[in-house]
Structure 1
Amino acid sequence: MPVLTHPSPHFKTALDLGRPPTIKELFPHSQALIVSGKYIDRAMNAKGRAMTIAANGRNFFVLQGALMAAQRANAAIIIEIARSEGGTGAYCAVNLWNIARQVDAICNQKKITVPVAIHADHFGIKSMADMEQAEIEIPTLFDAGITSIAIDASHMPDDQNLMANLSLAHLIPPWAGLETEVGEIKGKLGLSTAQEALFLIQGLNAHDIFPNWIALNNGTTHGIEASGSGIDVALTGEIHTALKPYNVSGAQHGTSGNSSEKLKAIAKETRTTKANVATALQMISWGVEVNDYGNAILDDDNQFIKKRGEGTSQKVWEEMLAFAQKNNLTGGNFKKLNLPFENKLMAQPREIRERMAKGVETFVYDLLTNVFNAGDTAELVLEDILRAKSCDPGPQGERIEDPAQWTREKIMEKAASIESDKGPEGDFDD
């Protein structure tokens, strides 16, 4: 295994103190600084008006490119895969149970020394019937190297969302990062309200659960942003202001399709510290032309434009197009090419594989340094680990709410008074 070097004389100490026990058990000789999501959130807050990328690693090249970009930017980073992308019904070869192993391997091979959290995104609970499987599955994720998780029960009514979070909290190690969600990501439909967000965070707070992040439906979408409206910065800021006493940060989902200026505004004007990017990175790794928004550019026939000399080889790209046509995959459903083509992409010549990762690196580096203001946050994590002398820096918040006011009966009573529009039913996973 290559020996990694780091400019900080404290790196070895941080490596020893900051890695969670599951990571040490999985990778006892590793020199990769895989840490709790808590540390990443805290670093962005410490810098101020900063957020980092949560790169959805739909393929190996996204993982490698994002990590190399973070190293160049000296930025703390989150690598993630959603349950829909990499769960038991995965459409990606990278999954919840192998993503940490791949990240660790890349870090050691490429001498990546910046802090990395491994996040299980959108662990979806769509009904209370899903709880039994979740109770089995969640511990396996941490056994496999996950260091942060998003419990997403936003598909359900507010009281059930809160109670699902409360029921599953004991399965999450106290050192791990935690994200919760209110409002499904549906674009301009079913926008979240401060009342809904407060209900969820206050109910968790009463039971000594202090999430690092809350995700909202604040006007954006997963996949390809077609509406043109995108993130509602003012709404996001309003909700984050209401939540300020609870010291919870924002997680911005669906950033692909939003302009650099809008993303800069989210970093500067809200309490967002985590910005998910998925579709744009997938497309860039393949060599598809994207605009500043991260949206794929289409030709006159409404087809994706493959850039010559970038991304995958022309031969494999044509095979991907043929497969998509045969299986009626269009637009955002090109995501379903990830699983059947991962091995073909990995079987290409080195120079092709390297340019696929390089395209992602270039895009992510620009986001981290010029848009998200995440540059040099790696050192803030190291300093925080040395202060805490632990893999767990402790909770961000403290209990404010009275548990007696948040019993099951009172939760149902409070939820009945919430006025909100959840938007239409449908499958909004990505």
Structure 2
Amino acid sequence: MPLAATSDLIDRAASSGTAVAAVNVITLEHIEAVVSGAEAASRPVILQISEGTVKYRLGRLAPLAAAAVAVARAARVEVALHLDHVRNLDLLPAAADCGISSVMIDAAHLPYDQNVAATRRAADWAHAHGIWAEAELGEVSGKDGQGPPDAHAPGARTDPAQAARYIEDTEIDALAVAVVSTHAMTPGTGTIDRDLLGRLRDSVRVPLVLHGSSGLPDSELLAAAAGGITKINFGTALNIAMTQAICTRLSNEPPGGDPRGYLSDARTAMTVATTRLLSAIAAPVDTLWSVTP
């Protein structure tokens, strides 16, 4: 199947009142597991390669992106490719040659004016190259000249009025928002601030994105999709599944010289995790907003 565009998947999810899952990948096993899980769930998916993963892959985006493109083209569902959490804007030109159709510019740690300048510059570049641009806004009020708190910190919140202004200032295509109440984000403990999400949905004109979603129970994922979140990011859940599968395999048999046994277990575990997560956000909007925690 041809490589999909992130914007097309997002537009279709928004029109149907659902959300599309975006899953961070680090290895070929991640890529294969996510696509297999999406096929099992009969759902489209966005493969995300983060700047941190590019650093891990010896500073090269192209090899992992090429693997993602190859797996995506052989998939039975639509798959798009996204460059995630970019702080070093020098990485952007490589995206245009790798099949990537969207980028997330991560300047939320900067004071507001610097955040806007960096994000607008990156968004202008992205749009000139036919690439969809996402950015993030948590709390913009840093103290004593410092940058704002991390948008993923417990209690972080995105202000609707500031969000609307930010979108106008940067001309981004989607906004990642901080709307999760956390209890250390252990599995199944996060909750969505539904009132705030509703106000954000009513205040901004672009799709909303939820980062750090692995700690949310299914009911909260459903509520997020129903409340206006159109793209839901996952990563930690797969990494936990992978690590646990490898540890279990190696604790039950002496380690040998062939890694394919434990990597196969890891890929299977990540496939199961992906299928569950994608199935959890697939319900239509009219069944969701009334979901209770």
Greater RCO, 1 or 2 (C-alpha within 8 Å, sep 6+): 1
Alignment deviations for residues 12-32 of structure 1 (CA, whole Å, 9 cap, x no partner): xxxxxxxxxxxxxxxxxxxx4
- Residue 359 (structure 1) aligned with residue 272 (structure 2): no
Check conservation: 1:51, 1:275, Cα contact below 8 A: yes
Q: Name the Cα RMSD after superposition.
A: 3.0
Identity fraction in percent: 22
Q: Deviations 1:160-217 (Å, cap 9, x if unpaired)?
A: 212222222232145322211112323334421112201111223xxxx351x20112
Query: Matches of 2:220 and 2:65 in 1, distance apart?
Result: 31
Higher strand share: 2
Equivalent residues, number: 271
For the residues of structure 2 that align with 1:107 and 1:140, how far apart are their CA atoms?
19
Kindly indicate whether residue 102 of structure 2 is the aligned counterpart of residue 192 of structure 1: no
Residues 187 and 34 of structure 1, relative CA distance in 2, 3 Å threshold: same
Aligned partner letter, 1:175: G
Aligned equivalent of 1:56: 24
Q: What SS does the aligned partner of 1:103 have? A: helix
Q: 2:239 matched to 1:239? A: no
Matching residue of 1:116: 79
Q: CA deviation at 1:113?
A: 2.9
| Structure index of larger Rg | 1
Question: 191-200 or 140-149, which moves further after superposition?
Answer: 140-149
Residue number among 69, 73, 93 corresponding to 2:37 in the alignment = 69
Q: Is the 8 A contact 2:155 2:181 kept in 1?
A: no
Q: What TM-score comes out, normalization by structure 1 length?
A: 0.57
Q: Which of 96, 101, 104 matches 2:66? A: 101
Q: Contact 2:48 / 2:83 at 8 angstroms: preserved in 1?
A: yes
Work out whether residues 108 and 136 of structure 2, in 8 Å CA contact, stay in contact via their aligned partners in 1. yes
Q: State the distance in 1 between where 2:188 and 2:273 align.
A: 23
| Unmatched runs of 5 consecutive residues or more in structure 2 | 139-149, 285-293
Q: For 1:366, what is the secondary structure of its paired residue? A: helix
1:302-329 CA distances to partner (integer Å, 9 max, x unpaired)?
xxx95x4xxx54389989xxxxxxxxxx
Structure 1 residues 227, 259: closer, same or farther in 2, change over 3 A? closer
User: Given residue 195 of structure 2, which amino acid in structure 1 is its aligned partner?
Assistant: A
- Name 1:418's counterpart in structure 2: none
Matched, 1:267 2:228: no
Query: Which amino acid in 2 is paired with 1:121?
Result: D
Q: Equivalents in 2 of 1:158, 1:273: separation in Å?
A: 25
Match of 2:259 in 1: 348
- Contact 1:61–1:357 (8 Å) recurs in 2: yes
TM-score (norm 2): 0.81
SS in 2 for 1:65: helix
- 2:288 is aligned to none
Matched, 1:216 2:173: no
> Which of these residues, 90, 99, 102, is aligned with residue 145 of structure 1?
99
Deviations 1:58-117 (A, max 9, x none): 23222111101112222111000221x2233x3x67963333211123345xx4132211
Show CA shifts across 1:321-362 (max 9, x none). Answer: xxxxxxxxxxxxxxxxxxxxxxx8xx523x543332221112
Partner amino acid for 2:130?
W
2:8 is aligned, of 27, 39, 46, to 39
Rounded to whole Å, the distance in 2 between the matches of 1:225 and 1:265 is: 19
> Residue 86 of structure 1 aligns with which residue?
53
State the one-letter code of the partner of 1:178: A
